[in-house]
Amino acid sequence: MSEEEQTFDDRLKYLIESQCDVDNVCTAYTLVATIQNFVTAEEKFFTICPPEQVTSTTIGLLESASAAEKLRIARQLLQDE
């Protein structure tokens, strides 16, 4: 598949897989970013996931990432005490 034929989804999967061991394959993802309007200073979330991905998978990924980040922060706070 040429670069022109690759979809945005294909490029995101390639980016994710390029950060992992060669024997890993991206089966699901959710990309989350914060977007700020520089005129109004309003912030909102931008999210994207593969079009064929079911909602329960997306929600599960978001909940897992949230729990992992909370655990990381808690460990850091305990370590700092």
Task: Classify residue 20: in a domain, yes or no.
Answer: yes
Please check whether residue 57 lies inside any domain of the structure.
Answer: yes
- Evaluate whether residue 1 is within a structural domain: no
Within-domain flag for 3: no
Tally the domains of the chain. 1
- Is 59 part of a structural domain of the chain? yes
Per-residue pLDDT tens over the stretch 29-75:
999 999 999 999 999 999 999 989 999 999 999 999 999 999 999 99
Give the global pTM: 0.69
CA distances from 33 to 24, 26, 43, 48, 75 (A): 24, 19, 10, 9, 24
Domain assignment present for 2: no
CB atoms under 10 Å from CB of 49, counted, come to 19
DSSP 20: S
| Contact call for residues 35 and 43 (beta carbons, < 8 A) | yes
Indicate whether 63 belongs to any domain.
yes
Cα 59–chain centre separation: 12
Question: Could you tell me the residue range of the domain that residue 40 belongs to?
Answer: 8-80
